[in-house]
Amino acid sequence: MKAVKLKNNIYWVGAIDWDSRNFHGYLTQRGITYNAYLIIDKKITLIDTVKEQFSDEMIKRISSVIDPSKIDYIVSNHVEMDHSGSIPKMMDIAKNAELITCPNGEKGLTAHYKRDFNHRIVKTGDVLNLGKRNLQFVLTPMVHWPDNMVEYMPEEKILFSNDSFGQHYASSSRMDYKNSKDIIIEEAKKYFANIVLPYSAQVRKELEVAATLDIEVIASSHGIVWEKYTKDIIAEYKKWASNSVIRKAVIIYDTMWHSTEKMAYSIQEVFEEKGYSTSMKNLQSNHISDIMTELIDAEYICVGSPTLNNNIMPNVASFLTYLKGLSPRDRKAIAFGSFGWGGQSVAQVADYLKDSGFDVINTYKQKYVPSDDDLINLKNKLTEDLASN
Ligand code: FEO
């Protein structure tokens, strides 16, 4: 449990959570890393802490470099407990430390920990001198809570970006170039789709600020540190935050006796014939958080459910609830499904999609099992509907 040197007198002192597979419904199949950074200067500074259960790991890493009681500043970039959870313990150890936070951070930390920490409030434009280095603060509310902030260290060209640019990814190598580029970009995309997506407008503002800075390294609070691929991840963030779509349709469904599935594959054929890339997502075998990653750039979101007890299938309900919370903007949607007698599911799916802000271009229903002619009719109708949209 040692600190990992990033630059002269700047260390990663976080914790690796190899086992975690769930973050609020988000399937973290590659685990999670909680990043904290230690800066040894005239003022010894810790940027963020780790989830409370991992505090001993962080303290061991800090102790491999300095005595933790000597820390002068603890910067809290975000109140969420994966980053602030070890602040009370660290403030007990570093008895003379000053906690650096923003106004919403102060409120949030007090509400969480019921303590009055020795603290200093900063706002955008404030600079904290550490000795040879400085931290310039930028408040970034709602990326991902009201209390987020980031800081730029001009002397080292490092952006400490907290949740932004993060990935849920546990690995023994801290630097981007020691990991598969495809995997870390994919995990960053999944993180964006499942955590940051609702706050895309705020991310765009953050990117405007980032464009004015000479950033060589992005030290986020989750996953690897960006150094070789810094420009690449900023370019990807611009794309994801822009809400732009490509000719792509994602077809998400559950099925009981394969009738809704047959409809799903007929719908896919139509989109393919129209030149769309397609992705089939059976909810029995795909996790909702992986489906969100696929939806980031999809023009069409197609959701199918058979009717079960006058309702939609539980897997579909779970997906629609998750989708509504993350709600990608300005997408077209269709609802479809089979039924035996009641047939309520398709209208329910359509209502949910409309409530989520999507433009539902049409709905398609099938009684019992579709015949070949039924599927041809479905394809013809969808082809017409796509032509008029
Ligand atoms: Fe990584 Fe919003 O906490």
pLDDT value, residue 327:
83
User: What pLDDT was estimated at residue 362?
Assistant: 97
Question: Could you read off the pLDDT of 7-50 as tens digits, one per residue?
Answer: 999 999 999 999 999 999 999 999 999 999 999 999 999 999 99
The pLDDT value given to residue 286 = 98
Q: Which entry of 17, 144, 253, 352 is annotated as an active-site residue?
A: 144
Q: What is the pLDDT of residue 389?
A: 87
The helix (H) or strand (E) run that includes residue 121 is: strand 119-121
Mean pLDDT by 10 residues, the chain (389 residues): 97 98 95 98 98 98 98 98 98 98 98 97 98 97 94 98 97 97 98 95 94 97 98 97 96 98 98 98 98 97 98 98 93 98 97 96 98 98 95
Domains of the chain (ranges; CATH) run 4-241 (3.60.15.10), 249-387 (3.40.50.360)
Of 163, 261, 294, 374, which is the active-site residue?
Answer: 163
Instruction: Give the Å distances, CA to CA, from 269 to 251, 259, 378.
Output: 11, 16, 11
Nearest residue CA, atom 1 of ligand 1?
A: 163
d(CA 293, CA 313): 22
Ligand 1 centroid to Cα of residue 80, in Å, is 5
Q: Determine the distance separating the centroid of ligand 1 and the alpha carbon of 138, expressed in angstroms.
A: 17
State yes or no: is 24 an active-site residue: yes
Catalytic residue (one of 11, 206, 222, 229): 222
pLDDT at 339: 97
- Residues in contact with ligand 1 (CB, 6 Å cut-off): 78, 80, 82-83, 144-145, 163, 221-222
Inter-residue contact 223 to 33 (CB < 8 Å):
yes
User: So what's the pLDDT on residue 117?
Assistant: 97
Q: Clarify whether 222 is annotated catalytic.
A: yes
The closest-lying atom of ligand 1 relative to the alpha carbon of residue 221 is 1
Give Cα separations from 177 to 173, 224, 235 (angstroms).
9, 9, 17
269-325 pLDDT, tens per residue?
999 999 999 999 999 999 999 999 999 999 999 999 999 999 999 999 999 999 999
